[in-house]
Amino acid sequence: MKKILYATDYSQNSISALKLAHTLAKKFEANLMVMHVFDIPILLASPVSLTYLKKEKRLFVEHRAKLKSFCAEKLGDSFEKNAITFLVDENGSVPDGILEKAYILDVDLIVVGTEGTSQIREFILGSTPKALIRKSPYPVLAVPAKSVETDLKTMVYATDFEQADIFAIKRLVKIARKLDAEIRVIHITTQKEYAGKDQMEWFKEILQEKVSYKKLKFDFIFSDNVFEKLVWYLENSEADLLAMLERKESTVYQRYFQTDMVKKMIKTIDIPLLSYNIAAL
């Protein structure tokens, strides 16, 4: 991992994401890029007018200074101005602004907080992390405001035994190996899926053929409520991170999580959620 892009709205909810992005950048010796996307409402001024252009230029300068001040304050003694690249962009859509910059920079990871500062804006336009998870070809790490752990030692990957899961886990192993972390591959299903255990054994064999990692464990659990059981599993395994696969149709693996469940998961858990997009694997 060489390039990490962290995006912020300067809110308290994004501080934990900044600290984790900063920690990961240090551990991987990666280039940390800190970004803010702002929007200029078009009222009386035209985007080609002199007034608009002057206001735009002034806002770029102001936001760059505010971005540096935000990082210096929140990172404290660990802040090193020369080790961070500061980026400011104007876009009516925050997710699109982030993704455009991520594409230009060819980043390895996008890091954001799970909640923004404007609930009304998010209600109307949709939350930034949810939009990024749905659209981003790059891995997205959504970090809750309550998350305090930056030492990711236990990672949970929820699988549905898809081929794309293997590619996602291979990428997760690269992160886990650098952090000396354990990966727990979990499959939760109802009693009706009678072939589940056989599928798990089959999946383990294929995965172990393609991925060599000593700290890789597997768990298989029956439950009629997959979502609640996964939350229970995360708490009882003292997980520091949950990784998942996002599909083209905006679902987290096919039978378990619909789009509203992704939002529910983001709001429910207090640990970072790492999403891999199937289209990019």
pLDDT in tens, 86-131: 999 999 899 999 999 999 999 999 999 987 544 434 433 348 888 8
Residues 233 and 124 occupy one common structural domain: no
Beta-carbon contacts of 53 under 8 Å, excluding residues fewer than 6 positions away, are: none
β-strand partners of 184: 156, 217
pLDDT value of residue 196: 64
- Cβ atoms of 170 and 49 within 8 Å: the answer is no
Chain centre distance of CA 237: 21
Among 143, 172, 207, identify where a domain stops: 143
Residue bearing tokens 């930056």: 150
Looking at the structure of the chain, the number of domains it has is 2
* Residue at 148 is within a domain: no
Count of helix runs (H) and strand runs (E) in the chain: 9, 10
Task: Give the residue among 4, 279, 257 at the shortest CA–CA distance from 140.
Answer: 4
β-strand partners of 220: 187
Round to whole Å and give the CA distance between 195 and 82.
55
Q: Residue 184's domain spans which residues?
A: 154-280
* Residue at 189 is within a domain: yes
- What does DSSP assign to residue 247? -
The tens digit of pLDDT for each residue in 210-226 reads 888 999 999 988 888 88
Neighbouring CB atoms inside 10 A of 44's CB total 7
Residues 138 and 13 occupy one common structural domain: yes
Residues 233 and 200 occupy one common structural domain: yes
The tens digit of pLDDT for each residue in 172-209 reads 999 999 999 999 999 988 776 656 678 888 888 999 88
Residues 115 and 167 occupy one common structural domain: no
Q: Identify the H or E element spanning 156.
A: strand 154-158
Round to whole Å and give the CA distance between 271 and 234.
9
Residues 203 and 100 occupy one common structural domain: no
